[in-house]
Amino acid sequence: MERISVFDMLKIGIGPSSSHTLGPWRAAQAFCKELKEEDVYSSTDRILVQLYGSLSLTGEGHGTDLAIVMGLSGTDPVTVELEKINSIPFDLKRNQVLWLAGEKQVSFDFDTDIQFHNDQFLPFHSNGMRLSSYSEGGTLLYETTYYSIGGGFFVTEDSDVNTLKKEVELPYPIDSADDLINHCTLNGLQISDVVAANEKVWRSEEDSKLGLLRIWDVMLESVYKGCHTAGELPGGLGVKRRAFNIFRKLSAGKFVYSNKHEWLAEVSRVDPNFQDLVKWISAFAMAVNEENANFGRIVTAPTNGSAGVIPAVLAYLIAFCGHSKDSDGIVRFLMTAAEIGSIFKKGATISAAMGGCQAEIGVSSAMAAGALTEALGGSPEQCLMAAEIAMEHHLGLTCDPVGGLVQVPCIERNSMGAMKAITACNLALESDPKNAKVSLDKVVNTMFETAKDMHIKYKETSQGGLAVQVAAHLSEC
């Protein structure tokens, strides 16, 4: 079983989709590296991109074509200036020249060199892409098929080993929830203690802490920016941003701040009634996914489509649960969340194209529920119980994005996932896990079986569910 770091589950990236944007971006970067390793980079004069399955059907709405161009151009989603996501493809379309790996000019016609095969699904995974290199005379020099398997992970055609897999021996190897709870019980540890010990194999404790605080900084920035940006989201559906108006009404113009940290401190001084508390949590979650839909920088947690759940619950913990925003508490929260997410990735899937939205919002809700439970004093058993409860009530959730965009119903679902996470935490804290009828491992297995039974049209193809119903309505208008 692969060994997954916290930083594999929580990645800084660009919206709107981890499987359709971040994964293809990373695959395109890998392709450039392979061209050099195979000694065909200097001879390459043209690149052909072919997209299959879900990656083709909803690729344009998810920005897959833009992401691959950005990856081929040598930019990185963690550091790229956001305005370049518009300028680089614009210049390419106008000049039909691609700066391969940011170093070498090759011919590239955006209209013909990116091909969408909507009626073809490659056998290994629904999110297939094939990148090909040709010489000036048209000879095929090199070709690789990649599969974007969710959460920004990708694999190659001839291997089911993730390209980011760490070949290491961990002090506490974990393949299942049972493994995790056994390590906690035998060693008297919290989940975050187990994760912290494992992370030391990859990097120093200080580096892990700094990396996770950077993750939280990006999360908070996306919450803050989303709550301070009005307008309409791109893509043609005319979806209006709502986090801005919710925040404006809740704050009533009384907040005084100059940055995101001062803003969160102002929010923490609020003593909301239940109705307003729900609105705050919704604003936090929706703000992130409005930024995600706008090709903003967010944290894949564990996917872009579900990126708002964990920031919303962590912001709720800091602002409304009497917890100071101490760095140790934030680091522990994120470590616990990531470990729970890794159990779903190992035992099932975090790809909507494989498992529907239960694999995205359901997993993120389970991650947040378990992390919140530990932060509020719950035992490891209660943490896993909370994660189980959260996923249990997302089972069967389909992925049917309207117009192939990560907007409807995706943005609202992050709000619902955050609320379910908090509810699951509260139920677990008031329960004895010994009386639980369903274990986390059983719900992981059930989620995967449900994913395999789910009709393909409900797996991020925009060919079923709301996508079809709303599209029919819009065509009549």
Q: What's the pLDDT score for residue 324?
A: 65
The Cα angle at residue 321 between residues 315 and 325, in degrees rounded to 5: 55
CB 288 within 8 A of CB 219: yes
By CB atoms closer than 10 A (0-12, 13-18, 19+), residue 21 is: buried
Q: What's the pLDDT score for residue 105?
A: 95
Q: What's the pLDDT score for residue 2?
A: 80
Average pLDDT of 82-101?
Answer: 95
Strand partners of residue 127: 53
Examine residue 16 and say whether the peptide bond preceding it is cis (omega within 30 degrees of 0).
Answer: yes
In this structure, of 98-107, 319-328, 417-426, the range with the lowest mean pLDDT score is 319-328
pLDDT exceeds 50 at position 267: yes
Q: What's the pLDDT score for residue 157?
A: 75
pLDDT exceeds 60 at position 348: yes
CB 374 within 8 A of CB 328: no
Q: What are phi and psi of 242, to 5 degrees?
A: -120, -20
Q: Report residue 161's pLDDT band, with 50, 70 and 90 as the boundaries.
A: very low
Average pLDDT of 336-358?
Answer: 97
Q: Is 176 helix (H, G, I), strand (E, B) or coil?
A: coil
Cβ partners under 8 Å of residue 194, min gap 6: 172, 174, 180, 183, 184, 187, 339
**Nearest partner of 117 among 54, 174, 71, judged by Cα:** 54
pLDDT exceeds 80 at position 412: yes
- The two tokens of residue 342 are 């890794």
**Nearest partner of 7 among 337, 441, 390, 440, judged by Cα:** 337
CB 297 within 8 A of CB 222: yes
| Percent over 70 (pLDDT), the chain | 96
Examine residue 123 and say whether the peptide bond preceding it is cis (omega within 30 degrees of 0).
Answer: no
CB 418 within 8 A of CB 281: yes
Q: What's the pLDDT score for residue 49?
A: 98
Average pLDDT of 35-63?
Answer: 95
Q: Report residue 476's pLDDT band, with 50, 70 and 90 as the boundaries.
A: low
By CB atoms closer than 10 A (0-12, 13-18, 19+), residue 445 is: middle
Q: What's the pLDDT score for residue 164?
A: 43
The single-letter DSSP state of residue 124 is: S
Q: Report residue 162's pLDDT band, with 50, 70 and 90 as the boundaries.
A: very low
Other residues' Cβ atoms within 10 Å of the Cβ of residue 398: 20
Examine residue 401 and say whether the peptide bond preceding it is cis (omega within 30 degrees of 0).
Answer: no
Q: Is 57 helix (H, G, I), strand (E, B) or coil?
A: helix
Q: What are phi and psi of 26, to 5 degrees?
A: -65, -35
Cα–Cα distance for residue pair 338/370, rounded to 1 Å: 10
pLDDT exceeds 60 at position 117: yes
**Nearest partner of 318 among 256, 268, 283, judged by Cα:** 268
Q: Is 142 helix (H, G, I), strand (E, B) or coil?
A: strand
pLDDT exceeds 60 at position 147: yes
Cβ partners under 8 Å of residue 204, min gap 6: none
Q: What's the pLDDT score for residue 322?
A: 81
Q: What's the pLDDT score for residue 471?
A: 76
pLDDT exceeds 70 at position 453: yes
pLDDT exceeds 60 at position 3: yes
pLDDT exceeds 50 at position 372: yes
* Mean confidence (pLDDT) of the chain: 95
Q: What's the pLDDT score for residue 326?
A: 84
DSSP letters for 388-457: HHHHHTTTT--B--GGG-S-TTHHHHHHHHHHHHHHHHHHHHTS-GGG-SS-HHHHHHHHHHHHHHS-GG
Angle, helices 205-227/309-320, rounded to nearest 10 degrees = 90
Domain locations in the chain as residue ranges: 17-156, 177-476
| Cα 331 → chain centroid | 19
For 17-156, CATH number? 3.30.1330.90
